[in-house]
Amino acid sequence: MSAAHPALRRAATVTAGAAATVLLTAGAAFAHVTVHPDSYAKGATDGVLTFRVPNEEDNATTTKVEVFLPTDHPVLGVLVHPQDGWSAKVTTTKLKTPVKTDDGTITEAASEITFTGGKIGAGQYEDFNVAFGQLPDDTGQLAFKTLQTYSDGKIVRWIEEPTGADEPENPAPVLKLTAGDASAAPAPAKSAAATAQASGSSDSTARGLGIAGLVVGVLGLAAAAFALVRSRKPQS
């Protein structure tokens, strides 16, 4: 049997690479710990942050989540929403620079929230809701470094902050702080049904991107084969 034509080999290589890239990119976006919403107005008051923690392991459950809050730009008035099956511990620390508010000077703020006692199984995620009294108004973003511990002892450190266009391997959840009306009421939390629907839509999008990549690959191979046939067709 003769070796494959160079054009077909090149097309197959490019096709496989493109399809793999599409599939990996689609899947990776859903494995990170994230914060929702992803932006708030600087100095916003009386809002809620939701930390979404997916389980990315097939043979272990997530048993502990530690969220670290920045203290150089502190989040004031932190309250944790009760979570079925989970216990939450809020650790506070003394601020190097006290924060002056309308209610007085704040000298301590939450620096860590630790969730334990529950389980997040394979193919599942958990939303942890944290209310705040006030966000800082002197920075453009907040990074919430997070540690995710699994039942087999593995710890995933979501602590890398983005420094350019490329996303780091283990990105920390980042909340962007924008210029706007700090007193505007936050958007209401999604119901469980709406959240499930949104999650399903995201999965469908990922699958769609993967299928699209494969279709492009097949079309590329077909085009290469057609070109090969034409090149071998005897001239009249």
pLDDT score recorded for residue 230: 52
pLDDT tens digit sequence for 10-36: 544 444 444 444 333 334 445 799 999
Condensed to tens digits (0 to 9), the pLDDT of residues 105-149 reads: 999 999 999 999 999 999 999 999 999 999 999 999 999 999 999
CA atoms lying within 13 Å on the CB side of residue 40: 30
**Domain 38-186, CATH among 1.10.150.20, 2.60.40.2230, 3.40.50.1000, 2.60.40.10:** 2.60.40.2230
Confidence category of residue 184, pLDDT binned at 50, 70, 90: low
